Amino acid sequence: MWENQPWIREEMSAFEAFAAERFAAKGVAFKEISARLLLSGGKRLRPAMTILAAKSGDYDRKRVFPAALAVETLHAATLAHDDIIDGAVLRRGEPTVSDRHGVNMAVYTGDYLFAKSMLLMAESGLEPERTEWVAKAILAMCEGEMAQYLGRYEITSIPQYLRRIARKTGLLFSAACAIGGKAGRLADADAKRMARFGFRFGMAFQIRDDLLDMEMDESLAGKPVERDLKDGIATLPVLFALRRSAELEPRLRDCFAGGGDMAAFLDAVRQIGGTMDSGRILGKYAEKCRKLLSELPRQVTRDALEELTEWLMSGGESLQIQITI
């Protein structure tokens, strides 16, 4: 990523150093656990988009880096809590906080990171009313996760799925871009345009993630790729496959009950066109991202966001095939 944008690679390296400095906590056990989770890697897409949005305006690391780190810290907090609910033992190929240190410590770690995120947002110097974006993103994520939890083992509609991922994923990306825009002192209209881009990107990102889970084995994905089905959650490829063939529903319910052949079921989802249909939806969101970017003046920010949008459409040969059919 960022092969053609060396400046953003340099900026992200500086951001990593800033994050390591803010989370330095040698000798304090729970702070070291929080730091390990936050600094364990990942794509850093959300803080990168905060930085990119700010780069469109009056860019100052003293304002932008705390805002970007607040967004990433919030994301890390949700991961600690999600892994408890999911019973996950791996995150990015490493043991989760709950698996390594127990559920109680994972709960406290997530709570600590939520509070740390708010402090970082205050450090950014944004007006108090701008933190409303973060609060709304947290609220939406909680609502999305609760809706998913309460709807386990139910076969939802595709519109319901899209509303769920809007709350789980889309709105945090949107907030990351909006916060970056205001940290860069963009006009409200421009900050809102960035927010719309972030939302569309977040929707595409989650669909891409669901598609990759259909194609990758656990050693590559760093998490159990059949976990959603085991937890009673049908992702977009499954929902599209059910739309194409009602005969798959009993097999899905068998998988939900723990008695079905999950590998054979997922292969049927692919064969019947569930991933192909999902790829088309991903492509539509990516096209919306491109259209919005075309309205911006040509500058390094637009170039970088265009590159990021094209990255959405990559992800291995199998994903590329499904999208381009």
Dist CA 242 CA 34 (whole Å): 41
Q: What's the pLDDT at 203?
A: 96
Q: Which residue has the higher pLDDT, 178 or 260?
A: 178
Where b means 16+ CB within 10 Å and e means fewer, 178-206 reads: bbbbbbbebeeebbebbbebbbbbbbbbb
Q: What's the pLDDT at 2?
A: 74
| 190 within some domain | yes
Percent of the chain with pLDDT over 70: 91
Q: What's the pLDDT at 224?
A: 47
| 11 within some domain | yes
> Tell me, what CATH number does 157's domain have?
1.10.600.10
- Taking the whole predicted model, whether its pTM rises above 0.85 is answered as yes
| 123 within some domain | yes
Count structural domains, the chain: 1
| 246 within some domain | yes
Helix (H, G, I), strand (E, B) or coil at 312: helix
Over range 92-120, report the average pLDDT: 90
| 285 within some domain | yes
Q: Where in the sequence is the domain holding 83, given as residue range(s)? A: 6-324
- List residues bridging with 95 in a β-sheet: 90
Q: What's the pLDDT at 216?
A: 58
| 239 within some domain | yes
CA neighbor of 99 nearest in space, from 262, 223, 212: 223
| 225 within some domain | yes
Over range 45-50, report the average pLDDT: 95
82-99 residue pLDDT tens: 888 878 888 877 888 999
124-156 residue pLDDT tens: 988 776 677 777 777 888 888 888 888 888 888
The region that residue 42 occupies, defined by phi over 0 for left and psi between -120 and 50 for alpha, beta otherwise, is: left
Q: What's the pLDDT at 262?
A: 86
| 1 within some domain | no
Instruction: Tell me the average pLDDT of the chain.
Output: 86
- For the cut 70, the answer to whether the pLDDT of residue 114 exceeds it is yes
